[in-house]
Amino acid sequence: MKLRVTVLLVLLLSLTGTGMLFAADETMNNGQVIVQVDGREIVFPDAKPYSVSASVYVPVRIAAENMGIPVFWDAKTTSVRIGEGAAAVTFIPEKSANGNKPFLREGRVFVDLAFIQDKLGATAVWNKEKKSVTLTTKSNVLKGVQLFKQSMVKLTGEQVIYVDPYKVDGEPMDGDIIFITHTHGDHFSLSEIRKVAKADATIVFPAKELDKVSDAGFGDVVGAVPNEEGTVKNISYKAVPAYNTEKSNHPKDREWVGYIIKVNGASYYMAGDTDLIPEMEQIDADVAFLPMGGTFTMAYEEAAKAANLIRPRIVIPYHYADVVGTRDDALKFIDLIEPGITSILMKE
């Protein structure tokens, strides 16, 4: 079981340069603070960013993991390690606040924002008016990755990619490629696709049911078959099986799919609606999105087993808290992920 020890970051407002303290406005006592990493607002599963007196506090374990950097706690030596290999930073926190040194408080470890800049290589900007901290990394597999309602994911890079658009806010119409895993209403809707697709967008769709989109007026439609690879608009992908093993909601013979999509130099597994299936042993991806709502897909226990089998760098639960499943299920899922796999929430 993955040990959940939250590392907290002390942010002091007024960013003046590397190694300097970041002081917070005294009028912001107990105010809510927003933290973004690479333009994406971070979801904090437990400890929340807040301001008190002249300081702002942010759970840096969550921030670091959203930067794609794993955080480890060694209970025997009471040390923290952030990162791996030659770039890893290891330290033993002070038992109480001591200047700008990392310190323990109520079982958590705090560091100041200068530590993030100096040791982890991210830049940081404090916006006093918006009460927000922006962290920008040089390289991060989660850069340009957004999770919305249900199983809707957006990947922004060489192309703008949407997977299973659902209850889209507004009409961005910026999507170059739209991947659809299957034809249930919370994953496929022509009206939802039209909200996100450019006029010349390519739609990748389960091949057995192409008739549902072939005459819908989209510029290009490509059929996806389990275990087959393809390339659209210079983006390579592989369609992989997705089905229920005992339930009848997603039968194997419908040949519905998940996708492994390669973009920005990383690979992203969008599992679609599925149970833990034998084919997952062959999945190789940097980031895995796994359903864990139960009822129609894996519940959180089975989803955790799938994550531990696949062993991606980062695993993100989805398909919960919108139709079925709860946020508590997602937290329980994270608790079951084995060491060496970073698990984060991307939505409440």
- List, in sequence order, every beta strand (DSSP E) within 207-265: 220-224, 229-232, 235-241, 257-263
Domain with CATH 3.60.15.10 in the chain: 145-343
Q: For 15-24, 61-70, 71-80, 317-326, which range has the lowest pLDDT when averaged over its residues?
A: 15-24
| Closest to 345 in 3D by CA, of 140, 61, 47, 44 | 44
Indicate if the alpha-carbon torsion angle 207, 213, 215, 220 is positive or negative: negative
CA 88 to each of CA 17, 82, 249: distance values in angstroms, whole numbers, following the listed order: 22, 6, 45
Q: For 32-46, 188-202, 240-254, which range has the lowest pLDDT when averaged over its residues?
A: 32-46
Q: Return the structure tokens found at 29.
A: 């006592």
Q: Which is it for strands 34-37 and 257-263: parallel, antiparallel or unpaired?
A: unpaired
- List, in sequence order, every beta strand (DSSP E) within 59-156: 71-74, 79-82, 89-91, 103-105, 108-112, 123-127, 132-136, 145-147, 153-156
How many residues in total does the chain contain? 348
Q: What is the pLDDT of residues 132-176, one digit of tens each?
A: 989 999 889 999 999 999 999 999 999 999 999 999 999 999 999
pLDDT band at 233 (very low <50, low <70, confident <90, very high): very high
More reliable by pLDDT, 126 or 105: 126
Q: Which is it for strands 229-232 and 235-241: parallel, antiparallel or unpaired?
A: antiparallel
Per the CB < 8 A criterion, the answer to whether 142 and 69 are in contact is no
pLDDT of residue 185: 96
Task: Return the DSSP state at 280.
Answer: G
Residue 62: alpha-carbon gap to chain centroid: 11
Rounded CA gap, 141 and 134, in Å?
17
**Mean pLDDT for all residues in the chain:** 87
Q: Which is it for strands 34-37 and 123-127: parallel, antiparallel or unpaired?
A: unpaired
Rounded CA gap, 197 and 56, in Å?
40
Dihedral over alpha carbons 127, 133, 137, 140 (to 10 degrees)? -130
CATH topology of domain 145-343: Metallo-beta-lactamase; Chain A (3.60.15)
Q: What is the pLDDT of residues 26-69, one digit of tens each?
A: 333 346 789 999 999 999 888 777 766 656 677 778 889 999 99
